[in-house]
Every structure is written in structure tokens, then in C-alpha cells.
Structure 1
Amino acid sequence: MRYLNCLNPISKRGTDSLSESYALTEELDRADGVLVRSKDMKELVLPKRVLAVARAGAGVNNIPLERYAEEGVVVFNTPGANANSVKELVLCALVMASRNVLSAANWLRTLSPEEEIQKAAEQGKKKFVGSEIRGKSLGVIGLGAIGAEVANAASSLGMIVYGYDPYLSVNGAWRLSREIRHASSLAELCEKSDFISLHVPLTEKNPGLIGEKEIRSMKDGVILLNFSRDKLVDERAMDRALGEGKVRCYFSDFANPVSMGMEHAVITPHLGASTEEAEENCAVMAVKELMDYIDNGNIRNSVNYPDCDMGICQSRERIALLHKNIPNMLGQITAVLARREINIENMLNRGRGGFAYTLLDLGKPVEESDVRELEAIEGIIRFRLVSENKGA
């Protein structure tokens, strides 16, 4: 029996998708895998038994990726599982900001009940005249699962959409409508867009991606939507731009002391993926990722190790090695197996930054002495016997 621990409440649809060989445990020391949403894990020391962590969502800034990689703990996220939920909220924010909906609704509540409300409303509504989004330009920064959906949906509503993503994959490009226009730089996108929507992950390299320089290059009266992470925007610079009227509205899904003090800003409490459907989709995807890694050694959607998928083992035995991405590692691994005349029937080796992963399907089982020799190779982080196929 394998055990999973939930650090946050996880949708029942996800936990119900566990196979019969899995059960939930409240004891972290018994867990083979961990499911998490928002709990801060930065100071959490995981027991050696834990093989992997799956974040039921896209952002992983609550998880110490590098430290867990060093400890041989694979971290997964669930890209795309909440894409529709976030896309719908972005479209909602786009329309609400362009039509001054919240400002108008809040103004109405300031009217005295004794006044002739209908007459006062008719007379005052001219202060909240907005603009239609059709024919306006939208710049989408980041064209992953969510950004692509936002771009395509906005284009279908008649907007002129510019996309900027220097890391756009071939599969990502296929998701985009042919109507989406390519911006060759962030500066070009800022200069051309009436609305800008952020859809990139927060990394160590991109805090303040939208700063003073970028804001100054934007059109006067631009509307900026941030449903990615607050630190991607230099909010001190944004506060000044709002006060000066350079930015008409800043719509952010992240509350903090700076954003909550901004004039002409609409701040929501991280509602992007807060739908039943998104939570269910993320939970199911996270559970499947954990089970496939624990049962088969396959890695899909990891954020600290390379993806590596060999399906279900059809050989006598499968072994998995998490290791440093250094020269001659593969040669040392195969040399150990060659000395024991163990045939490698299938193999995948992938690297990502400083870490790598090797999966091998073998013609006969390894012995304890082989395991000790493999584990002794400098740079090996974790050796695991994944599965045995006795019928092979």
C-alpha cells in the first residue's frame, strides 16, 4: 500500500481518483507523496520516505524547489488544469475595468437613501463612461496554457491581440489562433497595447518584470491585468503611474499592503483558480502525476526535474536514478550494469539545469550489491527500484 498526505484540503474528486493500492494518511512520516495547494513548505523538512510533491495548481513559489531537488524529491505542478477558470476571470476583469463597473457600483452606494436614487443615478452615470473592448488592442505577456486561452478568447471578441513569449514552445504555438500577432519584444507589446495581461510564472530572474521603464513605454490610459503574481509588477512604480493617470486601472488578484493602498486599482483575493471545476481538475491531475511517478517512475510536469516518460514497464525490472547533471554519469551507471551482464532493454536520460533523471528497463533484476554500487557513484541523489514485471 502507498500513502499520500494532503497538506491542504484537496478536492474529493482528486482523492477519489486514487487507485486501490493508495490511501490517504495524516502522518507525513508514512507518506510516499504529498499533495499541496497554498501551504508554505519553505521551512518544511520532508521525511526521507517522501518521493514527490504535487502542487494542485500552477504556481510553486511556496515550495523550495532547489532544496527538494537536492534531496531527491520531485516537485510537480498542474499547468493548464485551471486555465479556463483564470481565463474567464481575466475576461471579466477586462470588461469590468474598461466599463468602470466597480467604481460606478461603489458610487451608487454613497447616495443617500432619501435622495431620488433613479434620478441621481441617471445624472451621475456620465462620470463612469467607459469604452468597448472590441477593436482595442490587448497585449498578452506569456503564452502558456492560460495566456493562450486568454489571447484566443480576446481575439474572438474582436480585439487585436499581441503576444509576447520568448520561451514559446512548438506545442504552445499550435494552441494559438492565427489571428494572434507576434510582438518581438516586451517594449513593442507595451507600446501597442490598450490593455495588458500578465501570464508568466514568477522566478528568481523576473521580479519587477513590469517596472518604471515598461510603464513609461505604455500608452496613456492603459489598463493592466495581473493574474500571475504580484511581484512581477513593481507596485511602487504602478502606484505612481495610477496617481499620475498614466495607467487607468490596475486589476490585480493579489492583495498586499501596497496594492491595497492604490488609487484606481481593483484588488481581488486570489480568485483566479477559485472555482469548483478548477480545483477538481488540479486535484485529479496532481494525483495522477504522483501515482504515475511512484508506480512507473514517469515524470510529467515537474518543475525541478526533467520530464521523462517510458510508460508502463514491460521488462523484468525498472530502476530510476535522480542525479546531478554532470559528465560521464550515464557511462558510470551503464558500466555497473554491464559488469553484471544486465541487459538494458529501454532507457531514457534527461537533464534540466543542474539535475538529471535516468530511467532504465532491465532484462534481469539488480542485486543488493549493484544497488550499493550505483548509489556510491558521485552525483547520485536517489536510487529507486520502481517496478518488477515477474511475467516478463
Structure 2
Amino acid sequence: MELTLLGTGAPSGLPLPDCPCARCARAVGDEARAATAVLVDGTLLLDLTPGPALAAARAGQSLSGVRQVLLSHPHDGPALEVPAGLPAPVRVPDRQELALISGHRVLALALDAPGTGYLVTGPDGERLLYLPPGAGPAGEGGAHGEQTPVCDMVLMDVLGRPDALARLRAAGIVTATTDVLAVHLGHEAHGGAPGPELHRRLATAGARAEPDGTTLTVGEYHAVPDIPRRTLVLGGARSGKSVEAERRLAAFPGVVYVATGGTREGDPDWGARVAEHRERRPASWSTEETCDLVPLLSADGPPLLIDCLSLWLTHAMDEVEAWDDTLWAREGAGRLAERVAALVAAVRRTRRRVVAVSNEVGAGVVPATPAGRRFRDELGRLNAAFAAECEQVVLTVAGVARPLR
């Protein structure tokens, strides 16, 4: 199957008319996007973008061969512009299949949000899954209770519904070879800034975006974005490092969130911080409150999100009595070095996907106390040793993530 992206944006497109925000200001050239619409083999049109005939012409295509127009948006979705000569748009009822004279088969999928999803099977058996904005499949099934098969390509709202992508992966519908394309890209905050930041965010989810007018072949090999197995996210206080780490695993199923901070009785501020983190996590994630990281890293299992190494180090330094100068000099330093070495070795050997968070405190301010300087130095050494075992290291500043490796 050959498909042409007549549009890749949200229903209102990007940029919005007369909007002064920074996202709209940067949405120029290839980053400007009309409402999402897809032309399949010149004969099937999925959704409509404003000025579809002109959009097709700009892509070197024609709508003259279109025999079927299918709608995916909710019934109260955006107003439609139907050019003369196109067949009247229709919506296939959930779990019903439509056979086209061109040899394509279209199965309508029930969704967990208003609208209709379509599984398109080409004449040669290639499979394309197309989902409307803000939606994911309702459960794992297709028609008649059968599980939806592995798809060659998926077009969906990746940034708005990373949890839906996680569920598709858990069900085996999206595999390591599935080409995942982000569409319905819009003005909302979850869309990220147009340009390099958008593509960086998508790559962390194993997805990509293409400009309006791009023509693709379903099933043709395309280098799937390389997702690092081990990532360290560094940053200062309130820099966005935890949000960045969570975002990197939001599109993967069964994540284990490892909270190293524990609970602190009688500290309402700490309780509020913990609650804020919990509210951001997907409901499908599980939580382990522990500083015993080596067994988790040594066992096989789903991805780990460790937040954070600085609290792990605080716990470790408490246990070796590192705050007492005499005990530190006598044996504390050696005992801490052994614990750090064991953690680093476990990271080196782990088979799991790991995203770890740590504070960056070595920016030049020298603490006034020996204990403060000791913690700063040991955290710097821990960060460096942990980073050496990671394929990717990221620094977050003012909510902006920048890869260091």
C-alpha cells in the first residue's frame, strides 16, 4: 500500500490563525500542518483536510480515483469540506468490515473515546492502523472478538495518547518493526514545540513525524527510531527532569516506577511532592518504594523508572554514617564506594530498559559544611559512573531537555 499524508495536524491545524504563542510562531515550513487526512493507493481517503484537492495536488496526487471516503472523528467533529466529485463521506459501524473493489479491506475498530478507528488491509496483506485524535482501541480486539493482528504501520495521536501506544505494544499489535507515525499534531501543550524538540520527543517513544505531502509505502523498511536501553536524566530543582523521564516511558507497557524517597511522617510538603508524582503516572504503572536497586536491575522484567539517584545516595550515605567525619575517614568512604560500584555493575549488566533521574548539583556553588561538600562530590562521582553505562544522557534546564550523549 502507498499512502500520502495530505495533512498531519490536529483538526484546527497548526499554526492557529492569529495565535501569538511560541508554538505557532515556530510552525513554519515543514512544521506547518493541516488537519490529518490520508490518501491510500489513490482510491481510499481517510478523513478530510481543508482544501483536499489542492493538498493532493501539492503532493503530486489526484483525488479523481477516490472511490471511498471514511470518517474517523466523532459525530460532532470539525465541519467537513467535501469537494465536488468525491463520494459522500461515510463511517463504518464499529466491528464491521468493508470490502472495496480495489481489493482493500477496512475493519472499523471500537475505541475508548468518541470516533472510529480503521484497520486497513491492502491487496497484498499489508496492515495499516489509523486512529482519530485522542483515541485508542477499546481493549485488544478486532471483529468478532478476534485480536487485532500485528500492524506494519500505525498512524495515531502519539503525544496525546502515549498510553494507547503502550497498550498496542502490550497486545502485540505494535512490535519492534512497526512504523509508528504521529499525526493529529496540534497546538496543545502535549504536542511539544514544532521542530527538533517535537521529533526528539517522538523518537523517545519509538515514533516519528513526516511533513504534510509525504508519500510512504506501508511495509517498506524504515529505520525505527533507536530507543536507548539505558538513559540518565539530569537536572536541577524543578527543571522538568522527572517529567522528561516519565515521558520517555509513557508509550511502553508495564513500567515499574522505583521511588527511592520513601515517605516522611509529619512532612506535608514532602507528601504533596509525592502525590504530584503519583498523579502524573499512568494507571498501568506499578510502584516500588525501595533503595535496593541491584535486585531490580538484575531481574528480567518491564522497564524501570528510577527517581532518583540523589535520594538513593542520601540513603546509602546514611547507612554508612558518611556524615561523621571520623567514621567517613575510617571506613565510610570505602563502604560507600562498594555500594556505588555494585549499582554501576548492575546497570552495566541489566537487560531491562532503564530511565534514571538524578540531580545536577555541581554547578560551582561550594557548600559551607564538610557534609554538604561530601554529598556534592559523591553525587557528581555517582552521576559520572552511572552515565558511563548509559547509551543516552540528557540534561534538563527550564523544562527543556538537551541530549549530552
Instruction: Name the structure with the higher helix share.
Output: 1
- Report the TM-score, using the length of structure 1 for normalisation: 0.26
The TM-score with structure 2 as length reference comes to 0.25
